[in-house]
Structure 1
């Protein structure tokens, strides 16, 4: 027996409403690797001790230093592995986290919020002392990231040793006598919860 077109349309509408009502909404997850708006770096975002943190995980130009930091003792630290999103706490009832963002371009720390837009965009907003507000949108490169093993280390237990994140690793390839070739590859920051700057502040 053939159904009238109107009955078929009504069936699809009813089924669609039913499917939406029984399918749980996926929680927004800001963890993962994100390319910043101008494309010069990727930021790895992960949950460490209940809050979101983000560090520089890749640089377009390796070997950068935090040379605008107001703390002179930190101006020689590599920007690779450096915390950018700091201690971002989940806001109740919304898919939004708030904390601080560090801008290595001017050495300033801003009050900030992050908010996933769909599954592949992350909106960053930041203000200094309640004004000079601005923001940008990052694009997902990879992720989400599984929970850190460091977060599940029992109280009093020894946490794993933090990986080295010195910026770049240099490997020398064997060449014929008298010739030498150097290849540079970017180091992987790995589990960001184990980085010294985060481990010190997050625990």
Structure 2
């Protein structure tokens, strides 16, 4: 009976540690070029991210729009507030996977994997098909 109780406590503590690591991705991050800030947040059990700041938020005095979007009906959306990370779930103690990342500069959507390296560093890997064929950007947490 003691062994079962110890096992249950271990499983419970492991689950708490898992949630804390995945939740380290929640916050505001600079992209690799530091020309945008992306807020990662949690809705239910999934993770999402939206652009909350741009170094150059306007063109000709008007807010930047999603002009490269392949869907003509979405090209009038403003870049600030645009959700670019969608439907990630925690698959490891520091990994968010099975989501997508949208690149408004190209209008393309990629499969994506996010790895929390440290509390202040994310590896964001966009890819087509398998993770081996892709590119990794390093995002840094915005200081409060």
TM-superposed CA distance for 1:142, in Å, is: 4.6
State the partner residue of 1:154.
none
* Distance in 1 of aligned mates of 2:124 and 2:51: 15
1:71-82 to structure 2, matched below 5 A, reads 71-82=71-82
The TM-score normalised by the length of structure 2 is 0.76
* Distance in 2 of aligned mates of 1:141 and 1:107: 25
State the partner residue of 2:94.
95
* Distance in 1 of aligned mates of 2:111 and 2:129: 8
Structure with the higher strand share, 1 or 2: 2
Segments of 4+ moved more than 4 angstroms: none
| Aligned partner of 1:46 among 28, 41, 46 | 41
The answer to whether the 8 A contact 2:31-2:139 is kept is yes
State the partner residue of 2:83.
83
The TM-score normalised by the length of structure 1 is 0.55
Name the SS for the 2:94 alignment partner.
coil
The answer to whether the 8 A contact 2:94-2:117 is kept is no
The higher radius of gyration belongs to 1
* Distance in 1 of aligned mates of 2:79 and 2:135: 22
TM-superposed CA distance for 1:94, in Å, is: 3.0
The answer to whether the 8 A contact 1:40-1:60 is kept is yes
* Distance in 1 of aligned mates of 2:43 and 2:28: 15
Question: What's the CA shift string for 1:124-183, capped at 9, x where partnerless?
Answer: 00112336410100010057xxxxxxxxxxxxxxxxxxxxxxxxxxxxxxxxxxxxxxxx
Task: Tell whether 2:135 aligns with 1:134.
Answer: yes
The answer to whether the 8 A contact 1:88-1:100 is kept is yes
TM-superposed CA distance for 1:89, in Å, is: 0.9
* Distance in 2 of aligned mates of 1:64 and 1:121: 27
CA RMSD across the alignment: 1.9
* Distance in 1 of aligned mates of 2:128 and 2:78: 24
Equivalent pairs, count: 119
The answer to whether the 8 A contact 1:127-1:134 is kept is yes
